[in-house]
Structure 1
């Protein structure tokens, strides 16, 4: 049986490296890894005989058009934000040029990474994301619309991660820490005041290891008859509230909570009007929206798998976040 070829873009990132590890352990695929800096990959990956590095910015990936034409599976995680032109060039233009280099007769599946920020509670496109979103959110919205109408739609699984954790806070981590995990370093600085506030705003989260599990399942095990047409999956564990998260962190740090002031949606709107706080249009919209929960969501259990990190307690333990309660 011929060995399949899998291309992963954004391979240097947190999710990218969990994906690499999963496919090396669970498949015999040949992995094409698109990276800008190979030195950000562990030496064991760089030297693995099943891996071929495509060292380039995705905007210059035509240098590897021959390799790209041999791809059977594409997992596209590469993205850009901050500068509007770069966001458009990377998130839309370069991705569509990459699709044009694929050989459709060889290509079996695409897993396209978007963001849950462009979807409403019913997992449909949220127009406000295009109106108020950052350049990253806006380009992801536009790219999703174009991909859904493209000739690649039938072969595409669009995944929408919610808040992503991964890696650890110590230097011995096998994987790079996600932005959220890195942000946990600052969390104890704000707990002393957060314990006096009550915010019931809901959110989902997911660990990068569980994202890799789900992508592996979709590539290897999905049955075509169960997934007709363009397919989308919001990746996350069951929602919790910000207040639940505060209580978990307080318990972990051995801190008491004697009272809390409810910050309702109405109070938040009033505070936005009276406080001299500078916010982007997306910040203002997010506060007014209040909840970021979705139905349905997909986690490993929905696919008869077992989550690596099913609870926020699991996430904090795996991140090696210091605390009084480390169990």
Structure 2
């Protein structure tokens, strides 16, 4: 029987490389890796006969019309932010063009990457994502809403990563380092000040290796996520570990740094907003909305344990250990 063909967009990014590597090691699928610069792929051997590189911008989908028509599954991780025009072209227009080039008789599954920021606690689209969101948030919310009416909607599994860690800071990983992992050094640098602050905000995180495990299992099976209380055609999975809090983060970083905890001063949201008014701090409407929302939690969340696996990094301590960050 012929091996399935999986198309991965954004395959040179942190999450894309973790997924591609997992599939090379744990499946027999052929991979079409869509990238702008193949030199950025550091985690896999591009001479592997199961790999075909598609070099081009996501907005150039007609360039790969033949290849796209052959694929059986798509894992769409590519995204854009910063420039409103490019964000719309990549996050909305290019996605729909890609789906329109798929052969309905060949395609079995589309794993579409969005962001947990566009969802409320019960995995419904936040109205505020459309009104207050940055160009990234707005285009991700708009694309998800438009995909609901697409002819392939029932074959789409939308995944919503929470805060993503990945790679290492000591140069010992073959994977790129995520923005969040890059920020760990700065977090430790300022922990002496943060230890005086008490914040009750809660959130989820996940490691890119665990995202790869989840996507790999989705792409290696006909798994159908259970969608209780949902009338949408598109299935939704928020990828994350059980929620933690900023207080727990501060305590974990203090232990890692070898520093003692001190009496903490509660910082209320109204005080933060007042500080941003008094000081020359630029904030978007989305920043202000996020401050008021305070908690960023979802129910349910999906981790490798959902599929009977073991998470690569289930706790923040494991994240720090896997990041190669020096412990004091």
**Above 0.5 in TM-score?**
yes
Question: Paired residue for 2:210?
Answer: 210
Q: Which residue of 2 aligns with 1:166?
A: 166
Q: Where in structure 2 are there 5+ consecutive unaligned residues?
A: none
User: Which ranges of 4 or more aligned residues in structure 1 deviate by more than 3 Å?
Assistant: 222-229, 265-276
Match of 1:245 in 2: 249
**Matched residue, 2:69:** 69
Unaligned runs of 5+ in 1: none
Contact persistence 1:268–1:288 (CA under 8 A): no
SS in 2 for 1:12: coil
Matches of 2:28 and 2:70 in 1, distance apart?
16
Deviates more, 1:97-106 or 1:276-285: 276-285
- The number of residue pairs the alignment matches comes to 324
Contact 2:5/2:72 (8 A) holds in 1: yes
Is the CA contact (8 Å cut-off) linking 2:196 and 2:264 kept in structure 1? Answer: yes
Matched, 1:96 2:96: yes
Q: Distance in 2 between matches of 1:86 and 1:78?
A: 13
Alpha-carbon displacement from aligned partner over 1:185-222 (angstroms, at most 9, x marks no partner):
21222111000001110010000010011111112234
Per the alignment, residue 260 of structure 1 pairs with 264
Per the TM alignment, residue 61 of structure 1 is displaced from its structure 2 partner at its CA by: 2.3
Q: Is the 8 A contact 2:148 2:233 kept in 1?
A: no
Aligned partner of 1:150 in structure 2 is: 150
- Give, in angstroms, the shift of residue 223 of structure 1: 3.8
Q: Which residue of 1 is the match for residue 281 of structure 2?
A: 277
Judged with a 3 Å threshold, the aligned counterparts in structure 2 of structure 1 residues 284 and 73 are, in CA distance, closer, same or farther, namely same
Cα distance change, pair 171–310 in 1 and its aligned pair in 2 (3 A): same
Contact 2:163 2:206 in 1 (8 A): yes
Q: Does 1:319 align with 2:326?
A: no
Match of 1:141 in 2: 141
CA contact (8 A) 2:22 2:213 kept: yes
* Secondary structure of 1:45's aligned partner: coil
**Cα distance change, pair 44–264 in 1 and its aligned pair in 2 (3 A):** closer
Displacement after TM superposition at 1:43 (Å) = 8.0
Change (3 A) 1:283 1:54: same
Output the TM-score relative to the length of structure 1.
0.95
Give the SS at the match of 2:104: coil
Aligned pairs for 1:106-121 within 5 A: 106-121=106-121
Give the root-mean-square deviation of aligned CA atoms.
1.6
